[in-house]
Amino acid sequence: MPECFVAKASELKDGDRRIVVSGPHEVGVFFKDGDYYAYSNYCVHAGGPACEGILVNNVVDILNGDQTYEGQTFGDAVHFACPWHGYEYDLKTGECIGDRKLRLRKYNVVKRGDEIFVVI
Amino acid sequence: MDMVRNEVRQLNPEQYTETKALDHASQQARQRNYQDFLIVDVDAHHYESESYKDVFSYIENPVIKMEAMDSMTRAGRSGFLNNQVGYQSLGGRMTRHKNRAFFKARGDRHRDVDWTLDWMDAMGVDYSCMFPTPMLFLGLHPQVEIEVALCRAYNHWLCERILAQEPRIVSMLYLPFNDPEWAYRTVRDFGDKKGVVGFMVTSPRYKPVHDNAYMKTYALLQEMGKPISFHAAYSWDDRALATTNRFISVHSLGFMWFNMIHMTNWVVNGIPERFPKLKTMWIESGLTWAYCLMQRLDHSYMMRTSDCPQLKRKPSEYMQDMYYSSQPMEVPDDLSILEATFKMIKAETQLVWSSDYPHWDFDLPSVIYDLPFLKEQAKRNILGANAARLFNLDSKPVKTIP
Ligand code: FES
C-alpha cells in the first residue's frame, strides 16, 4: 500500500485540507480539531468532488418539551458538503447524512515526524 | 484514457474554472466514450441578471427603458423586476455560484459564451438550449407590459449577443404569455432567427393555456414546426404553496404544481386534437408527475368523457406524444419504479436529457447513461438523438472533451 505525502503538519491549520491525487485515486485529507481524516473525493451521488466543499456543522430543529417548534441552530457534528449538489458527509465517519448506509471510502492517515501521509 | 496523475492540491476559489470544477464530469465523459455520439442539453441556464445593463439597452419603450436603467442604481432597494425568496445556494454549500465570479472571458464574445462552452465540453455536451434564470419568475410580474418589454429586450439581446455568435448554443425563446397578442408577435418576429429552436412559457403564472386568445399562437408554432415548452419554477406567493416553510417544500411541489395544472388544461381542453402537429415539451418537473397525472386523468376520464368531448383517446395517450426533459431525474432506490416511469412516458422517443446547469440540482449525462435497464441506442436517443430530431440539429458530435 503506497503512502502519499500530503503536507507538513505545521502547514495545516485547523479546518485545512489537501486533495491528494495518485493515479485513479483522489483523496480529500482533512485536519480538524486535532485529528486527520481522509476520504475518497468521489461523491456517492453523481461522482462530484465530495471533499472540496465547505465544512459545516449539522443543522438542528429546536423543539420545546411540548413538541412546539422554536427555531433552528447548529449542532456539534461537523459535516463536509459536496459542492456539486450539497450531499453532506459526517467528517468522523464519511457516512452520507441523508442515508447512512452510503459512505465514502475511508483512507488511513499516518504522521511521521512533521510529515503527513495518506495510505492509498 | 485518463492520464496518470500525481499531485497534491489545495482549494483555491480564485483559480476557479468550469473545466476544473467539472473535472470529474470530464472523467465520466471519457470513460463512457461520449465523444462518439451526440449529446444535447435541452435545458441549461445563464444568469441574465449579470448582463441587465446591456439587456435593458434593448428595451424598445423609452419610458420603460428609463425606469429599467434607473433601477440599476438602486441595488438592494425596490426594483423594476419581481423576484422570489430562494435558497438555491444551500447557505453557501454550493460553491460554484460565488466562485464563477472569478471566471474571465477569453476574447471579444460575451463572457456567457465562453463560460457555457467550457461546462458543455467538460460534461461532453454538443448543443445546449440556453434559458434565463431570474426571468423564470417574470410571468408573476404585476405589470403585463413589463413582462412584454423585458421579454422582447432579452430575446433581441440573446439572439444578437449569444445565439448569433455561437452555433452550439440554441434557445427556446421566452414567450410573454400574459399578453397573448405579444406572444403571437414574438413567435412571428423571432421564429426564424439563428439558433431559435422553439419557444418557452415560464410555468408560474395564472392564465389558462386553453384561453381562445392563444389559439393563433399555437397555430403559428404548428405551422413553423417549432415546439412550445413549459419551463417549471416555483412561486412562494401561490396561495397553497405559501403554507410551506422550507425551500425543499416549495421547490419540490412548485416545480410539479404549475406544470400539472397547465398539462391538465392542455389535455382536457383538447389542444392536442386541435393542433395535432404542435410539438409540446415539459421542462424541469422531473418525471414522476407525468406518470401520476396520466394514471389520475385516465381514471377520471372513463367516468367523465362528457367533460372532455374533444378527446378521442385517453389523456395518457396524448401525454405519451409529448416530450419531457429529464432533469431532475428522481432516482428511486428500486430502479424498477423508474423503469416503469420510462415505459409510461415512452422514454425511448419522448425523453430528452437536460442538465439544468449551473443550477443547484443539475444532472450529468451519466444519470441516463448509467441506467442498467436501457440499451445503448435508447441511451443515445435520450441523450441527444430525440432532441436533435425535435430541434433539427446535425447529429455529428462537435464537442471537445478536456
Ligand atoms: S455529486 Fe456530490 S452532491 Fe451530487
Question: Which is the closest atom of ligand 1 to the Cα of A46?
Answer: 1
Q: In whole angstroms, give the CA distance from residue B121 to residue B18.
A: 10
Asked if A83's CB is within 8 angstroms of B94's CB, the reply is yes
Contacting residues of B for A4, CB less than 8 Å apart: 6, 8
Q: State whether B91 and A56 contact (CB < 8 Å).
A: yes
Q: Which residues contact B78 (CB under 8 A, 6 or more apart)?
A: none
Region B124-135: what's the mean pLDDT?
97
Query: How many CB atoms within 10 Å of residue A86?
Result: 22
pLDDT for residue B5: 74
Residues pairing with A112 in the sheet:
A115
User: What is the predicted pLDDT for the residue at B105?
Assistant: 85
Q: Chain B window 67-126: which residues touch A at a Cβ cutoff of 8 Å?
A: 90-96
Q: How far apart are CA A32 and CA A45, in angstroms?
A: 24
Q: Is the pLDDT of residue B78 over 80?
A: no
* A81 part of contact set with chain B, CB < 8 Å: yes
Average of per-residue pLDDT across B139-165: 97
Please tell me whether the peptide bond between B372 and the residue prior to it is cis, using omega within 30 degrees of 0: no
C-alpha of residue B363 to centroid of ligand 1, in Å:
10
Which residues of chain B lie closer than 8 angstroms to A42, CB-CB?
A: 24
pLDDT 10s digits, B323-374: 999 999 999 999 999 999 999 999 999 999 999 999 999 999 999 999 999 9
pLDDT-derived band at B267 (thresholds 50, 70, 90) equals: very high
| Ligand 1 centre distance from Cα of residue A88 (Å) | 9
CB contact under 8 A, A49 and B24: yes
pLDDT value at B198 more than 70: yes
A84 lines ligand 1 (CB under 6 A): yes
* Per-residue pLDDT at B4 exceeds 70: no
Q: Would you call B6 and A56 a contact, using CB atoms and an 8 Å cutoff?
A: no
Pairing mode, if any, of strands A115-119 and A55-63?
unpaired
Taking only Cα atoms into account, the Rg of chain B, rounded to an integer number of angstroms, comes to 21
Neighbours of B213 (CB within 10 A): 13
The Å distance, Cα A50 to ligand 1 centre, comes to: 7
Q: Which of B6, B28, B367 sits opposite A22 (nearest CB)?
A: B6
* Residue of chain A whose Cα is closest to the Cα of B359: A85
**In 3-state terms, what secondary structure has residue B177?**
coil
Residue B129: phi, psi to the nearest 5?
A: -95, 110
Question: Could you state, in order of their start, the residue ranges of all structural domains in chain B?
Answer: 30-223+329-391
Asked whether the beta carbons of B393 and B127 are under 8 A apart, the reply is: yes
Average pLDDT over every residue of A8-29: 96
Fold of A3-119: Rieske Iron-sulfur Protein (2.102.10)
Which 337-356 residues of chain B touch chain A by CB within 8 A? none
Which residues of chain B make contact with A5, given a CB cutoff of 8 A?
8
Min Cα distance A118 → chain B (Å) is: 11
For the cut 70, the answer to whether the pLDDT of residue B1 exceeds it is no
The rounded distance, in Å, linking the Cα atoms of B402 and B19 is 8
For residues A110-120, give the mean pLDDT.
95
The 3-class secondary structure across B359-402, one letter per residue, is CCCCCCCHHHHCCCCCCHHHHHHHHHHHHHHHHCCCCCCCCCCC
Closest B-chain CA to A57? B93
pLDDT band at A17 (very low <50, low <70, confident <90, very high): very high
Of A6-15, B46-55, B68-77, B151-160, least confident by mean pLDDT is B68-77
Ligand 1 atom nearest the C-alpha of A85 is 3
- Of B273, B271, B280, whose CA–CA distance to B225 is shortest? B280
Q: What is the pLDDT of residue A55?
A: 97
Q: Which of B26, B94, B360, B371 to mutate to probe the A interface, most A CBs <10 Å?
A: B94
CA atoms within 13 A on the CB side of B320: 15
Distance A42 CA to ligand 1 centre (A): 9
Domain ranges of chain A: 3-119
What is the DSSP-derived secondary structure letter of residue A67? S
Read off the DSSP letter of residue B32: T
Q: Which residue in chain B has the smallest CA separation from A80?
A: B93
pLDDT above 70 covers a percentage of chain B that reads 99
| Mean of pLDDT values over B313-332 | 97
Residue type, B279: K
pLDDT in tens, A63-74: 999 999 999 999
Which pLDDT tens digit goes with each residue over A87-108? 999 999 999 999 999 999 999 9
According to CATH, the superfamily of the domain at B30-223+329-391 is Metal-dependent hydrolases (3.20.20.140)
Cα–Cα distance for residue pair A56/A40, rounded to 1 Å: 18
**In this complex, is the C-beta atom of B375 within 8 Å of any C-beta atom belonging to chain A?**
no
The predicted structure's pLDDT at residue B97: 86
User: How far are the Cα atoms of B11, B332, B343, B366, B369 from residue B336, in angstroms, in the given order?
Assistant: 40, 9, 10, 18, 16
Asked whether the beta carbons of residue B367 and residue A54 sit closer than 8 angstroms, the reply is: no
Count CB pairs under 8 A between chains A and B. 69
The dihedral of CA B326, B330, B332, B338: what is its sign? Answer: negative
- CA separation for the pair B273, B279 (Å, rounded): 12
Query: Best of A87, A96, A102 to mutate for ligand 1, by most ligand atoms within 8 A of CB?
Result: A87
Choose among B296, B378, B286, B276: nearest CA to B324.
B286
Q: Which of A6, A42, A53 sits opposite B93 (nearest CB)?
A: A53
| pLDDT tens sequence across A30-88 | 999 999 999 999 999 999 999 999 999 999 999 999 999 999 999 999 999 999 999 99
For ligand 1, say whether the CB of A83 is within 6 Å of any of its atoms: no
> How far is the centre of ligand 1, averaged over its atoms, from the C-alpha of B10 (Å)?
20
CA atoms of A105 and A43, how far apart (whole Å): 10
What is the A83 CA–ligand 1 centroid distance (Å)? 7
Assess contact for B37 and B376: CB atoms under 8 A. Answer: no
Q: Do B92 and A54 lie within an 8 Å CB cutoff?
A: yes
Write out the E strands in A23-114: 25-32, 35-40, 55-63, 69-81, 88-90, 106-112
